[in-house]
Amino acid sequence: MWFFLPFRNLFRNCRRTCAILLTIGMGAGVLFSFDGFINGVLTEYRETTIHSHYGYGQINRKGYREMVYERPTDHWMGNWNRLNHFLLDQKGVTGIFPRVSFSALLSKGNTTISGEGQGVDAEKEASFFDSLNVEEGQTLYKQENGILLGKGLAKALHVKPGDSVTVTATSVKGAINKAKFTVIGIFNTGAADFDGRIFRVQLKEAQNLLNTNKIETVSLGLRNLSDWKSVASAIEQTFPQLEATSFDVLDKIYYQHSVDWLNAQFKVVQVIILSIVLLGIFNTVSAAILERKQEIGNLRANGESVFQIMQLILTEGFILGVLGTAFGLGLSYFVLTLFVDGGIRMPPGPGQTSQFLVRFRFEWYMLLLPFILNIASALVASFFAGIRVARMAIADALRSY
């Protein structure tokens, strides 16, 4: 009975009930949408970093990243077949990408530019590293003498797909080696520093330039980000001379610092939105209860106690909070998935030079915050307004308009 009567009371004044439901629903929808937007931005930024630069993480010789060596190739992995077989047996691993990096001079006619080369197994990497965003030409795949250039590097060399570029590098023995490559494509990740210095060639071609068969690093593709800890732990336990480093540590300056900055900014905006939403709900619910002074006075005159009146009001507030929040969440999800499913084109973010597409990404845990805050706000507003009216003298309440 304590639940049935408050529920019926909601239909006695549809105007008032609808106003409260809309206020609570709009608050829930705004919070839910903003959380989805934040998650979309951070997910897009993370996926771009993973699928254009490092994979989910990389494997090197222990201490290699922190040290500066006179002959870095002496600290590369010589025979990595055992590691390769081990990784193939790991359930979370979906891609194994051996790489070498080297400094080189790229020449076209009278123009010579320094760059950072990456020797990659292009056939394997083509499907995973799909965020390079090849703007001209095609991605590097099976072309033996093909070269893929960053947009800034290609612009400095004044080349386009089909042109020839000469790459000059120093071998591990100090010899100067040259090789001619054909520009296959030009990529643009949106990171100016990366696009202005990086080029990619086939792993075998890079090893020929360096006169080595060693591997500097192995990038990994995984089923899910959550698989990284278990895979990294297994690698370091089986191969104590190696270390596995996640992508956010490898790209701490550009990725992790940008994510930290965005998170701090979003939290400030979220606090502002929360304040507006909660104050709106509090004001609407309080005003609706204060309008019912005569009704509550009649209940008191009929013999109901202050406790029973408060039980009635708080139950109504709880029902309104649940219904309003559910309505707002459902409506916002429906509108965003139906009309904004293609995402929103955003301006370049920190460290970026190109626009990126953000899609609203929702997770189940995002439902919890709007429900808790909205219901709590409705209950608090109901309590303070209700206790004020319930304690009024019956005669004063009955004379209220």
Q: Could you tell me the pLDDT band of residue 351, with boundaries at 50, 70 and 90?
A: low
Q: Is the pLDDT of residue 87 over 80?
A: yes
Q: Is the pLDDT of residue 1 over 60?
A: no
- Name 254's Cβ contacts closer than 8 Å, sequence gap at least 6: 49, 191, 193, 351
Q: Identify the pLDDT of residue 166.
A: 95
Q: Is the pLDDT of residue 125 over 80?
A: yes
Q: Could you tell me the pLDDT band of residue 353, with boundaries at 50, 70 and 90?
A: low
Q: Which of 183, 139, 187, 140 is nearest to 164 (CA)?
A: 183
- Name 252's Cβ contacts closer than 8 Å, sequence gap at least 6: none
- Name 215's Cβ contacts closer than 8 Å, sequence gap at least 6: 76, 77, 80, 98, 99, 100
Q: Is the pLDDT of residue 211 over 90?
A: yes
Is pLDDT larger for residue 286 or for residue 84?
Answer: 84
Q: What are the sequence ranges of the domains in the chain?
A: 4-49+256-398, 96-220
d(CA 249, CA 50): 12
Give residue-wise pLDDT tens across range 108-120.
989 999 999 999 9
Question: Among 42-51, 135-144, 221-230, whose mean pLDDT is lowest?
Answer: 42-51
134 contacts 189 by C-beta, under 8 angstroms: no
Question: Among 52-56, 218-222, 254-258, 366-370, whose mean pLDDT is lowest?
Answer: 254-258
Q: Identify the pLDDT of residue 201.
A: 95
Q: Is the pLDDT of residue 254 over 70?
A: no
Q: Identify the pLDDT of residue 204.
A: 94
246-261: average pLDDT: 77
Q: Identify the pLDDT of residue 354.
A: 66
For the chain, the average pLDDT equals 86
Q: Identify the pLDDT of residue 395.
A: 79
Q: Identify the pLDDT of residue 349.
A: 64
Q: Identify the pLDDT of residue 396.
A: 77
Give residue-wise pLDDT tens across range 10-58.
777 788 888 888 888 888 888 898 888 888 888 888 888 888 788 999 9
d(CA 205, CA 181): 10
Q: Identify the pLDDT of residue 2.
A: 59
Q: Identify the pLDDT of residue 347.
A: 76
Q: Is the pLDDT of residue 60 over 80?
A: yes
- Say if strands 217-222 and 164-170 run parallel, antiparallel, or are unpaired: unpaired
Q: Identify the pLDDT of residue 113.
A: 93
* Tokens encoding 42: 């951070």
Q: Is the pLDDT of residue 177 over 90?
A: yes
Q: Is the pLDDT of residue 352 over 70?
A: no
Q: Is the pLDDT of residue 348 over 80?
A: no
* Tokens encoding 142: 């099976």
- Quickly count: other Cβ atoms within 10 Å of residue 375's Cβ: 21
- Percentage of the chain modeled with pLDDT above 70: 96
Q: Is the pLDDT of residue 307 over 90?
A: no
pTM above 0.85, yes or no: no
Amino acid at residue number 174: G
Give residue-wise pLDDT tens across range 150-172.
999 999 999 999 999 999 999 98
* Tokens encoding 203: 């792993």
127 contacts 215 by C-beta, under 8 angstroms: no
Q: What is the 3-state secondary structure (H, E, C) of the chain?
A: CCCHHHHHHCCCCHHHHHHHHHHHHHHHHHHHHHHHHHHHHHHHHHHHHHHHHHCCEEEEECCCCCCCCCCHHHHCECCCHHHHHHHHCCCCEEEEEEEEEEEEEEEECCEEEEEEEEEECHHHHHHHCCCCCEEEECCCCCCCCEEEEEHHHHHHHCCCCCCEEEEEEECCCCCEEEEEEEEEEEECCCEHHHHCCEEEEEHHHHHHHHCCCCECEEEEEECCHHHHHHHHHHHHHHCCCEEEEEHHHHCHHHHHHHHHHHHHHHHHHHHHHHHHHHHHHHHHHHHHHHCCHHHHHHHHHCCCCHHHHHHHHHHHHHHHHHHHHHHHHHHHHHHHHHHCCCCEEECCCCCECCCEEECCCCCHHHHHHHHHHHHHHHHHHHHHHHHHHHCCCHHHHHCCC
165 contacts 181 by C-beta, under 8 angstroms: yes
Question: Among 76-80, 203-207, 230-234, whose mean pLDDT is lowest?
Answer: 76-80
N- to C-terminal Cα distance for the chain? 29
